[in-house]
Structure 1
Amino acid sequence: MCPTTTHPTETSTRLPDASAPRPRTGAHILVDALIGQGVTRAFGVPGESYLDVLDALADTDVDFVVCRQESGAAMMAEACGKLTGRPGICFVTRGPGATNASAGIHIAQQDSTPMILFVGQIGRSMRGREAFQEVDYRAAFGPIAKWAVEIDEAARIPEIVARAFRVATQGRPGPVVIALPEDMLSEIATVPDAPAIEPAETWPGLTDMMRLQKMLWAAERPVVILGGSRWNAKAVASVVRFAERFDLPVAASFRRQMLFPADHPCYAGDVGLGINPELVARLKAADLVIVAGGRLGEVPSQGYSLYGIPDPGVPLVHVHADPEELGRVYQPTLAINASSGAFAAALEGVQPPNVIPWAGWREAARADYLGWSEQPPANPGPVQMATLVHWLRALPPETVVCNGAGNFATWVHRFHRFRAFGSQLAPTSGSMGYGFPAAIAAKRSRPGTPVVAVCGDGDFLMTGQELATAVQHDIPVVAVIVDNGMYGTIRMHQEREFPTRVYATTLTNPDFAAYARAFGAFGSTVERDEDFVPALDAALASGRPAIVHVKLDPEAITPVTTLTKLREASLAKRSVG
């Protein structure tokens, strides 16, 4: 979803009139409800189970992006929700359409992203018979969605849609799944529209902020870790000012690097996969840890090894919009129930001590980060991944860089500089196939902003058919496909555990540049470092969807590891054992 406040030129031709209810079909009531909540864009794959909705949308200016597979559509909606803070909207048909979309629902749940998935459903009179493509969506999506519901009466659509927007955006944001029985959509009802909702902000108490100030004054080695959702550019600016006033090192949680500018002297790096060992040591040496917005889940906690459970063993301040997340794993010294934006605003009133007792602590953290991200190790082959990522830094700060899952992403997180809020789209859930659909959603939402998806070969082909979506809708997004002919992450683990038994991890790939041209997109191939910048520039200048096919040596796995090293180390360990 892209709200009208973000895109004032995108308005609907039919506006709901709450003062004069009139008879409407369920489908028209639904579309009016969405427009009333500021929806201007939706993603989906058409299906006969919700043809009435498509017919109702045809009378509006809502931008319906027709996708080629439901997982890609759901990922696009999730990415839109991540960028805007308002629910991304996706429509899919029943049965296989809904189950295909479950990948996007899982991302939205683990990434705390507001999203609403509408699923066409069988007619109400057929339920319970295992009718054609019948699924109980409450049961199917209940464990991976924040709320799953089926609308039984057209008259209840405004009520349930308004509630869905609140559920998706308030507290810890997440996905809502709404099933739409086919006959309900054609049912006539006379019902007023619900007013537009704004998610409630949870503000920290004055006592909480005073305690935080006292804890900071007593600290000698404090650190801040930013994560989670419900941030915006204003909130990030408030945290930057807070860090400057207190001279604090600030780290970003896994794939939340856009929450603090990487070129700022207070930035200390990201707490994710392939973390800087110096940052791990600093986090363990800290005598005050402030976790704002995030959950400190498995990846940022380094497999729950960073701090003790349930007693973290260090004074911990945990700030989160959902009270159920406070103390769920780690018992904090100070639990602050507040949304990220409200907490950031309240930081303006927290005052630093007259003399900062941790002089040099922030500078050392910054030096560690620069040493980690500016001195790339060489990888095997004529294409150097760190050099490639360094060249991405030349793009404007607002450029949105997207990625899915795979070892290739480690290079992006370590060597790229995310300098602006909204410049990163990546799944903390670790879902493959995310980067390219996310890039399509970002470019559709921000047509004047450069958008680049960095994808692995196996990663891209999970949703690569969405190139047809980009071509059809003239969305000039650029995908940089890093092709090493394997599922690299799985191969890395396989080489470590079974060094002489490579099995089921090798890939036979197409010529991705030719693949792009077959769709009517721009395609080029890179086999040497010096070819990359001209290829990327040509792709961006083409004005078309584009693929830059980068051929990487299979031995280049991560910035610190090659397959040869893994294999030799594993064999040596086994021989000793």
Structure 2
Amino acid sequence: MSAPALDPAAPAAVDRAVTGCWPVAAQVLREAGCELVFGLPADEPGLLDAAAHTDGLTPIPVRDQRAGACAAVAAAMLTRRPVVLALTTGPAFTNALTGLLEGNSLGAPVIVVTTRIAAAEIGRGGFQETDQRSLAQSVVKDHLVVATAESLPWALRRAAHLALNGRPAPVLVEITTEVGTATDLIVHPGAGDPVQVARSAPDPADVSVAAAVLARASRPLLLAGGGVRAAGATAAVRALAAEWGAATATTASGRGTFDERHPHYLGLVGLYATPPLTERIAEADVVLAIGTALEETVRMGWDLDRVRLVHADGDPAAFHRSVPAEVTLLGDAGLTAAALRAALAGDAGAARRTGWLGSVVRARQAMDARAAAVTFAESPTRTVLRALVERFPDAVLVQENGLHDIWGYHLSALTLPADFPLVGPGEQTMMGFGLPAAVGASVARPGRPVVVVCGDGAFAMSSNTLPTAAELGCPLVMVVFDNGGFGWPRFLRQQEGEPTTTADFGTRLPMAELVEALGGVVATVTDAESAGSALRDARAAVDDGRLALVVVPVDDDDVPVGIRRICGVEGPAPW
């Protein structure tokens, strides 16, 4: 067949080639699947500026690199797509490291793109010369240096692939000055497809061995970690739990896998376990842990050495790291859950698990009844937390990890439906994560209110995020448990009979004035009635695109049960 004749009257094809380092970088990142670019503007136009001129990319200017890193991490956790953090060499780079440390802990697919000084000045006292490789090696998955123009597209696509595949984590791309100033880079839009997540199923022989162990369980417990959510495997894991006849629990990052109102759900384990559900957790004889590295906070107060443990994860480095497993299953969480469910179909052991599940139901009923009886006078913290989901069922929840807001990890204080979107700190639990993470969550889930729960100390550490939140029109509700100091250090000093002066705030941050100056609304909770009206007013404010601050004064007696347990505090634990 001959080629069609050209119409001489047709307009000439438009050359849509993109030229120059930063426009090329932006185009490549967009085609790799990125949509969001967080960062501060560099002295000269850079990646953030190029993103503003690239279809499909949204630049998010922030005012602090640390906050930008936290925001990028939160957005990556919610979208499960690579999110870009644009930095420059020296102090800008080091300022972001704390957020990247948390991002690595959480398994957030963030592509960190930074500059490097000219090669001729390395080792000669070049301005802002920094050994970024050494500084970042413990907080990123890999480090790629772009020293030639030709390698830029490859490096950026490689970074997106590494950030997403295996165990997701931040990846660093360092672009030399020579490449950053090059004008002869060319890329043609449409040259690449979005980077895909490679999925693998566990070996069928391993699945058979694991299924045999699970089938012999009398008191089975399925523990879901953050890897389940990261893999989009929540529905598959729920189906497996039902097929197996198991009680269920989660790690902090695994919340959302199960409907926490279900009578077979035992809440969070370890530090965040709530009595009397702790008794049922301790009685489990076979545990299937899926999508979790079983870090220390998961194991606190829980003797996993005495159970038969089947450990499933997509990263082989997670196995035998903290607890030896009888069987390990390497593969995608969703494919693993589906394979185990198929292997357990028709399992004849369901009858002997009836009594176990009945005891779980009774423990849940006891906990729920006790939680419902807690008054505002006993616990202002829990009163406000219980009301959040009712008032904000469509929200994204962002958590900190201070003394009082840890109640939010206890099932008796905060109960979430399945697939409720939330972001919390990982095992690093940096203070000041919540507010900038809330900005990232708002950008990732536009149109949804975002509720951040934190203490006054954490609020103060990241209050410089608020102008960005107001500028972006983030519908942000900040619930601040205010105890006038750093609660956890003060509580520990009190237990040792030591002075608390260093943990007390002599000068308080004017939180209310700051939020009001940015056009937000403020309410202080003093009783149960004011708690309800404060949340109603906050809802109205965020529906109008304004910030809302809800201040809840608390004292050091309202301490979560998990903290009391690990600190050996005597007396009845308030659960």
Normalised TM-score (structure 2): 0.88
| Number of the residue aligned with 1:488 | 487
Q: Indicate if the aligned counterparts of 1:71 and 1:101 stay in contact, CA closer than 8 A.
A: yes
Q: Secondary structure at the match of 1:316?
A: strand
1:431 aligns with 2:415: no
Q: Which residue of 2 aligns with 1:54?
A: 48
Equivalent in the alignment of 1:413: 409
Q: Which amino acid aligns with 2:545?
A: R
Of 385, 390, 414, the residue aligned with 1:389 is 385
Helix, strand or coil for the counterpart of 1:490? helix
Equivalents in 2 of 1:466, 1:115: separation in Å? 20
Write the distance in 2 (CA, Å) between the matches of 1:23 and 1:281. Answer: 62
1:228-239 map, 5 Å: 228-229=226-227, 231=229, 235-239=233-237
CA distance in 1, matches of 2:30, 2:306: 50
Distance between the aligned counterparts of 2:278 and 2:125, measured in 1?
53
Equivalences for residues 38-187 of structure 1 within 5 A: 38-48=33-43, 51-61=45-55, 62-187=57-182
Question: Alpha-carbon deviation of 1:378?
Answer: 5.4
Runs of 4+ in structure 1 over 6 Å off:
566-570
> Structure 1 pair 546/358, CA: closer, same or farther in 2 (3 Å)?
same
SS of structure 2 residue aligned to 1:133: coil
Relative to 1, partners in 2 of residues 1:118 and 1:240: Cα closer, same or farther, differing over 3 Å? same
Pair 332,440 (structure 1): closer, same or farther in 2 beyond 3 Å:
same
- Mean CA deviation greater in 455-464 or 200-209: 200-209
Q: Which residue of 1 aligns with 2:338?
A: 345
* Aligned counterpart for 2:185 among listed residues 161, 181, 189: 189
SS in structure 2 at match of 1:198: coil
> Partners of 2:366 and 2:128 in 1: how far apart?
55
Partner residue, 1:7: none
Distance in 2, matches of 1:438 and 1:271, equals 24
Matched, 1:321 2:321: no
Within 5 Å, give how 1:375-524 maps onto structure 2: 375-376=370-371, 384-395=380-391, 397-414=393-410, 415-428=413-426, 429-497=428-496, 499-507=497-505, 508-524=507-523
Offset, 1:273: 2.4
SS at match of 2:34: coil
Other structure's SS at 1:468 match: helix
In the aligned structure 2, how far is the partner of 1:316 from the partner of 1:345?
A: 19
Verify the 8 A CA contact 1:93 1:119 in the aligned structure 2: yes
Deviation at residue 74 of structure 1 after TM alignment: 0.6
Q: Secondary structure at the match of 2:551?
A: strand
Unaligned runs of 5+ in 1: 1-16, 571-577
Change (3 A) 1:204 1:354: same
**What percent of counterpart residues are identical?**
27
- Tell me the CA shift for residue 206 of structure 1: 2.0
1:492-535 deviation line (CA, Å, top 9, x unaligned): 111112x1422310123233222101122222222222112222
Moved more, 67-76 or 84-93: 84-93
Change over 3 Å in CA distance of 1:233–1:208 after alignment to 2: closer
Q: Deviation per CA, 1:223-281: give whole Å up to 9, x if none.
A: 11110325369621122222223221010013422122101232111014242244444
Q: For the Cα contact (< 8 Å) 2:146–2:174, is it kept in 1?
A: yes
Given residue 419 of structure 1, which amino acid in structure 2 is its aligned partner? P
1:8 corresponds in structure 2 to: none
- SS of equivalent residue, structure 2 residue 532: helix
| Aligned residue type for 1:295 | A
**Counterpart for residue 548 of structure 1:** 549
Aligned mates of 1:432, 1:373 — CA distance in 2: 30
Structure 2 CA distance for aligned equivalents of residues 354 and 513 of structure 1: 61
User: What secondary structure does 2:299 align onto?
Assistant: coil
Query: What TM-score, normalized by structure 1, do the two folds share?
Result: 0.88
Q: Secondary structure at the match of 2:353?
A: coil
Q: Does 1:253 align with 2:251?
A: yes
What letter corresponds to residue 197 of structure 2 in structure 1?
Answer: P
1 CA distance for matches of 2:49 and 2:498? Answer: 58
* Shift of residue 569, structure 1, vs aligned partner: 6.3
Q: Is 1:291 the counterpart of 2:289 in the alignment?
A: yes
The change in CA–CA distance for 1:522 and 1:488 in structure 2 (over 3 A counts) is: same
CA gap 1:383/1:546 in 2 versus in 1, 3 angstroms: farther
User: 1:546 and 1:138, CA in 2 relative to 1: closer, same or farther beyond 3 A?
Assistant: same
CA contact (8 A) 1:238 1:347 kept: no
How far 1:374 sits from its partner (Å)?
4.7
Q: What is the number of residues matched between the two proteins?
A: 543
Q: 1:381 to 1:266 in 2, by over 3 A?
A: closer
